[in-house]
Amino acid sequence: MSDIQDIKLSNAQIAWRAAQDIEDGAYVNLGIGFPEMVARFQPEGRQAIFHTENGVLDFGKAPEKGEEDWDCINAGKKAITIKPGTAFFHHADSFAMVRGGHLDVAILGAYEVAQSGDLANWSTGKGGVPAVGGAMDLVHGAKRVAVLTDHVTKTGGPKLVEACTLPLTGVGCVTRVYTSLAVVDIEDGHFVLREKIPAISLDELQAVTGARLHLDGAVGELIAPEELA
């Protein structure tokens, strides 16, 4: 097997793949950091509406440097802009949208995802200052909760596991994982492999996955635009 570092998808490519599953008109919340990249890759002809926890729906792109209005920020405290259709609201209304099942998709990062759909993404359990933000609300609110993640940890350990060892963000909440090597669904307590990059074999993929990958029909080829590599 080739070194995973050489064949794996870039974060941008993972985000691109996740973006392909977002339907036209979907209401979407993207987690702070890496998941935010998904917004860049909306397929032609589709328009997603983005929600940010601090009370903005349908915001515009980042302003030019020096043009920031710091009353107009996203959950990551980065400056955003308004555009036709933007709405502001308070935090209780914002999380009514989240908790009330009004978001179509929430896309988050992960430390670990278990085959049960359990997610751990808020605490490394190592002390320091804990911080949770809106992650625990998002994972039990959106109609579909997806995770973007490298397939393995920096030290090569599995992030898709039988059971999470880190503090949980939510129980049984994730239904799809987009990794640097594969697209994996979570169904009935199992990982079901949907797509993998051509450069890795099934056995190799299983070897870097911490729980059994089930098959359900053909495994698609996960091919992302090369220019995003």
Partner 1 sequence: MDKRLSTLAEAVSRIPDGATVMIGGFGGSGAPVELIHALIDHGARGLTVVNNNAGNGHVGLAALIEQGRVDKLICSFPRSADPQVFTEAYLAGKIQLELVPQGTLAERIRAGGAGIPAFYTPTGFGTDLAEGKPVEEFDGRSYVRERWLKADFALIKAELADSHGNLTYRMAARNFNPLMAMAAETTIVQATRIVELGGIDPEQVVTPGIFVSHVVEVADAAQEEMLNRAEAVYP
Helix-strand-coil split of the chain, %, nearest 5: 20, 30, 55
CA distances to 25, 69, 109 from 52, in Å: 16, 16, 16
Residue 53 binding partner 1, by CB under 8 A:
yes
Residue 66 binding partner 1, by CB under 8 A:
no
Q: Catalytic: 68?
A: no
Number of helical (H) and strand (E) elements in the chain, helices listed first: 5, 13
d(CA 167, CA 209): 20
Stretch that binds partner 1, among 14-22, 137-145, 194-202, 217-225 (CB under 8 A): 137-145
Residue 99 binding partner 1, by CB under 8 A:
yes
Retrieve residue 76's tokens. 């990551």
Residues near partner 1 (CB under 8 A), total:
59
Residue 135 binding partner 1, by CB under 8 A:
yes
Residue 72 binding partner 1, by CB under 8 A:
yes
Residue 163 binding partner 1, by CB under 8 A:
no
Task: Spot the catalytic one: 53, 67, 162, 221.
Answer: 53
- Find the shortest distance in angstroms from Cβ 166 to partner 1: 10
Residue 86 binding partner 1, by CB under 8 A:
yes
d(CA 31, CA 54): 12
d(CA 32, CA 26): 19
Residue 106 binding partner 1, by CB under 8 A:
no
Task: Please say whether the beta carbons of 51 and 74 come within 8 A.
Answer: no
Q: Which residues bind partner 1 (CB under 8 A)?
A: 24-25, 27, 47, 49, 51, 53-58, 69-73, 77, 82-103, 118, 123, 128-137, 140-141, 167-171
Catalytic positions, written as ranges:
53
